[in-house]
Chains A and B, each alone.
Chain A
Amino acid sequence: MATAEAPATTANAPTTNTGRLARAVSRGPLHVLIIAVCLAWMIPTLGLFVSSFREGSDIATSGWWTALSSPSTLNLENYRQVLFTQGMARSFLNSLIIAVPATLLTILVAALAAYAFSWIEFRGREALFLLVVALLVVPLQLTLIPVLRMYATVGLTGTFTGMWIAHVAYGLPFAVFLLRNFFIALPKDLLESAFLEGASHFTAFWRIVVPLSVPALAALGIFQFLWVWNDLLIALVYLGGSATVAPMTVTISNLVNSFGGAWQLLTAAAFISVTLPLLIFFALQRYFVEGILAGAVKG
């Protein structure tokens, strides 16, 4: 039990749990090292960002860092082009259209299943959940051909509906795993007293489990949203090459293929595609990290 009188001695101390007398790594080099690493990590994205404001001819002849000293050369021309002539605006919309319903549906379906795995008793529950855990690592590639064929026969290829269903299905193992672990840790007494008063599973689910699980649902939502938003493979396979329904990832990869050298467009396009994830990340970092920590096994 941590002593009450010494606030800095618990493992949750704001500074460090390895003690404030740690002097073996002297402070100077430590700071230099960490800051250097952080800078190194930011440079790639920074380069993208700065270049997206430069003329194509500039990009081809000088490094982006030179633009920092002459900010007057920067403009929004690339963004205009990429959004309106190369269809990024449309792609942004498509990404949104694909990601939002997919995320919401995944949460719903996974929550129902996770509830069953936690609070409904039935034969084979453990075995079935083990199957879910096993499915966590199945590579998508394994399923592409049969599903594509299935889609072809049913006419789901190139449709948003097809994308939604696919993303929900592929996101389920992790989602169910995450939520089930959370649900099962909820206080048993709460649900027991509800059942004693005659509540059905449905009531228990909607009125007790779900409200109490908002943090986990939020974490899952963010994680799933980013996963779908950033996906390329599933879009390529099930959506095909049609520009009208392509999400941003597909559009960008097409741009790379066709405009390999037109970096002014590529950088702008890429940056547009990361603005939303970055925003979400910075605003809701905590939930994202929780999602990672809770799962840590998403294949």
Chain B
Amino acid sequence: MARVLFDHVVKRYGEVRALKDFSLEITDKEFLVLVGPSGCGKSTALRLLAGLEPASEGDILIGERRVNDVPAKDRDIAMVFQSYALYPHMTVAGNIAFGLKLRKLPKDEINRRVKQAAETLGVEQLMERKPGQLSGGQRQRIALARAIVREPAVFLLDEPLSNLDAKLRVNTRAEISKLHKRLGTTFVYVTHDQTEAMTMADRIAVMNAGEIHQVGSPQELYDRPKNVFVAGFIGSPAMNFFKARVDSADGAMDLKGNTFTMRVPRDRAPELQSYIGREMLFGVRPENIHDAQFTPTGINAVPLDVGVEVTELMGNEVFLHVEAGETKLLARVDPRTEAQAGKPTQLAVDLERMHLFDPDSEQALATVGAAAAVA
């Protein structure tokens, strides 16, 4: 049980900087998810923490100890690899016990811990089998068992769910969350899937190109993304972005696009004061765009006429791919909608929940419920 600190860590491979000035503090017992697209450096950060590769610059601390020069086996960490990395020539029991045997723990202690780990993950039946005989989901559990049996200070998980099929992924997500609560140990989890991040994390660190864009709780990142990248990365389907000019008319604010004009709700109008006359970048999530006919009560939505290109029936809702002039949007609407592809319809946009971004720097200037909460 320990906290983890990355202090201005840089990792270079020749000329390339995989991590640029990476600083992050992970509190004890926290479930922290590093999320980002391929190549963003999240796995690199994890491997540096594990001690599989040395940092080029900066300090890495586990607990109060600086571990830059400490070999992996002495860092008191356990890791679950993307490919599970089970030892193919050992039985399941052998795989789980390996680390303990190396540390020369007494035999009864080893057996006890192995049995416990196996029970926690529900794999007691598989102890004598070899990894080659197991399914992907089973192998993953063994990999987890192998990690927890060591009772480490920090758990590292490198995209453990990417090799599982969709259904299994959903189940295993919950299992891993339960495991974290049960063990009460720090979890550092790497994934490219924002859904995994949102559902499992206490806090999420969104990364891109070797840098952290934002760290915060899932709700924070959802409500108050600091820039376009985070806004577009978190939330599925992704946020809609569109450009519009800020107009002042009759004491109210309008967003003027090529073919539409939307009136800004009164409580958000002051945020746009400084940008009158400028074309700004706006973000609205699909779940905040409704069918005008079936807008939920209590929502003050602004009407928008659009042409419908595609409708996707999801069962509990309908995805409408629409266009308003050159602006393309995705709306998640009530399943009772009468919208059809090829016919125009009217949507209701909940601008109370819109996000304002600087079109050049892509930084957030105003987000839901807070104005200019950006550094």
Q: Is the A/B pair a real complex?
A: yes
Interface, chain A (partner B; CB < 8 A): 1, 3-9, 19-21, 23
Asked whether A8 and B13 contact (CB < 8 A) given A1-B162, A3-B43, the answer is yes
Residue of A nearest to B41 (CB): A5
Interface, chain B (partner A; CB < 8 A): 13, 18, 38-44, 47, 51-54, 71-72, 82-83, 158-159, 162-163
Would B38 and A5 count as touching, CB distance under 8 A? yes
Would B43 and A6 count as touching, CB distance under 8 A? yes
Q: Report A124 CB to chain B, min CB distance, Å.
A: 33
In the bound complex, CA of A8 to CA of B18 (Å): 12
Would A6 and B38 count as touching, CB distance under 8 A? no
Would B40 and A1 count as touching, CB distance under 8 A? no
Cβ contacts under 8 Å, A7 to chain B: 13
Cβ contacts under 8 Å, A1 to chain B: 82-83, 162-163
Would B54 and A21 count as touching, CB distance under 8 A? yes
In the bound complex, CA of A20 to CA of B48 (Å): 13
Q: Report A191 CB to chain B, min CB distance, Å.
A: 32
Q: Report A16 CB to chain B, min CB distance, Å.
A: 13
Would A20 and B53 count as touching, CB distance under 8 A? yes
Cβ contacts under 8 Å, A6 to chain B: 13, 18, 43-44, 47, 53
- Greatest chain B CB density within 10 A among A5, A9, A20 is at A5
In the bound complex, CA of A153 to CA of B13 (Å): 71
In the bound complex, CA of A3 to CA of B48 (Å): 14
Would A5 and B83 count as touching, CB distance under 8 A? no
Cβ contacts under 8 Å, B47 to chain A: 6, 9
A sample of 19 inter-chain contacts (CB < 8 A) reads A1-B82, A1-B83, A3-B38, A3-B44, A3-B158, A5-B39, A5-B40, A5-B43, A6-B13, A6-B44, A7-B13, A8-B53, A9-B47, A9-B52, A20-B54, A21-B52, A21-B71, A21-B72, A23-B71
Cβ contacts under 8 Å, B43 to chain A: 3, 5-6
Residue of B nearest to A3 (CB): B43
Residue of B nearest to A23 (CB): B71
Instruction: Classify the interface of chain B: helix, strand, loop or mixed.
Output: loop
Would A4 and B54 count as touching, CB distance under 8 A? no
In the bound complex, CA of A19 to CA of B159 (Å): 21
Given pairs A1-B163, A4-B39, 4 additional interface contacts (CB within 8 A): A3-B43, A3-B159, A21-B72, A23-B71
Q: Report B242 CB to chain A, min CB distance, Å.
A: 32
In the bound complex, CA of A9 to CA of B53 (Å): 9
Residue pairs across A and B with CB atoms within 8 Å: the count is 42
Would B52 and A19 count as touching, CB distance under 8 A? yes
In the bound complex, CA of A6 to CA of B38 (Å): 11
Cβ contacts under 8 Å, B82 to chain A: 1, 3
Residue of B nearest to A19 (CB): B52
In the bound complex, CA of A276 to CA of B40 (Å): 52
In the bound complex, CA of A6 to CA of B40 (Å): 10
Q: Report A161 CB to chain B, min CB distance, Å.
A: 52
Q: Report A33 CB to chain B, min CB distance, Å.
A: 23
Residue of A nearest to B51 (CB): A21
Q: Report A71 CB to chain B, min CB distance, Å.
A: 43
In the bound complex, CA of A4 to CA of B159 (Å): 13
Q: Report B158 CB to chain A, min CB distance, Å.
A: 8
Partner of A4, one of B38, B53, B72, B158: B38
Cβ contacts under 8 Å, A20 to chain B: 53-54
Q: Report B38 CB to chain A, min CB distance, Å.
A: 5
Cβ contacts under 8 Å, B163 to chain A: 1
In the bound complex, CA of A8 to CA of B11 (Å): 13
Q: Report B155 CB to chain A, min CB distance, Å.
A: 18
In the bound complex, CA of A30 to CA of B298 (Å): 75
Q: Report B293 CB to chain A, min CB distance, Å.
A: 46
In the bound complex, CA of A5 to CA of B47 (Å): 11
Closest 5 CB pairs of A and B: A3-B43, A5-B39, A4-B38, A4-B39, A6-B44
Q: Report A273 CB to chain B, min CB distance, Å.
A: 45
Q: Report A186 CB to chain B, min CB distance, Å.
A: 27
In the bound complex, CA of A295 to CA of B159 (Å): 38
In the bound complex, CA of A7 to CA of B18 (Å): 10
Residue of A nearest to B42 (CB): A5
Cβ contacts under 8 Å, B72 to chain A: 21
Residue of A nearest to B47 (CB): A6
In the bound complex, CA of A3 to CA of B42 (Å): 10
Asked whether A5 and B71 contact (CB < 8 A) given A21-B52, A21-B54, the answer is no
Q: Report B352 CB to chain A, min CB distance, Å.
A: 39
In the bound complex, CA of A19 to CA of B44 (Å): 14
In the bound complex, CA of A23 to CA of B54 (Å): 13
In the bound complex, CA of A3 to CA of B41 (Å): 9
Cβ contacts under 8 Å, A19 to chain B: 52
Cβ contacts under 8 Å, A23 to chain B: 71
Asked whether A5 and B44 contact (CB < 8 A) given A21-B71, A21-B72, the answer is yes
